[in-house]
């Protein structure tokens, strides 16, 4: 699913001047692919998409020429995937349980992710508490974690 969605994103930006994530979501929807803003934001980072100015003064997404640069965020996500044991949310709080000693690394991974609704986070030895603005954003982020851990 992720590979198909990301392939479609690359196809879309190569044929259409996409200026916003909302526009990208709409283009995906028209092709029968549903996604959340958080998922699109993550895809943009993973695909190394950047905004480039067009000759008309507007901007559009393109794939960065620096996509082979060291990807610290990717490494942190790998640590997160390897260390996370369980997760759940209650209202606007997301609790991630990790293997003993990996809480700080998982917390650093979460801090390095683009989570627009994040207010803050706390990490202990085997637990990370992520504070989000709304219950809905906490639910969506748990879905993001589920996708990431598959």
Tell me the pLDDT band of 69, cut-offs 50, 70 and 90.
very low
Question: What does pLDDT average to over the chain?
Answer: 86
pTM over cut 0.75: no
Tell me the pLDDT band of 74, cut-offs 50, 70 and 90.
low
In the three-class reduction of DSSP (H, G, I as helix; E, B as strand; rest coil), residue 3 is classed as helix
Residue pair 111/128 in contact by the 8 Å Cβ criterion:
no
Distance CA 121, CA 35 (A): 25
pLDDT in tens, 4-50: 899 999 999 999 899 999 999 999 999 999 999 889 988 888 888 88
Dihedral angle of Cα 57, 61, 65, 66, to the nearest 10 degrees: 110
Supply the pLDDT for residue 70: 41
79 or 15, which is more confident = 15
């Amino acid at each position: 699913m992720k590979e198909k969605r990301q392939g479609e994103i690359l196809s879309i930006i190569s044929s259409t001047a996409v200026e916003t994530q909302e526009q990208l979501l709409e283009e995906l929807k028209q092709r029968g692919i549903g996604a959340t803003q958080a998922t699109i934001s993550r895809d943009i980072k993973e695909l190394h998409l950047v905004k480039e100015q067009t000759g008309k003064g507007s901007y559009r997404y393109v794939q960065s020429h620096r996509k082979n640069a060291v990807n610290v965020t990717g490494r942190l996500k790998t640590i997160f995937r390897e260390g996370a044991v369980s997760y759940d949310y209650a209202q606007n709080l997301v609790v991630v349980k990790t293997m003993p000693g990996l809480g700080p690394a998982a917390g650093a991974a979460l801090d390095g992710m683009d989570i627009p609704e994040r207010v803050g986070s706390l990490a202990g030895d085997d637990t990370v508490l992520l504070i989000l603005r709304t219950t809905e954003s906490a639910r969506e982020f748990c879905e993001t974690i589920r996708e990431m851990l598959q």
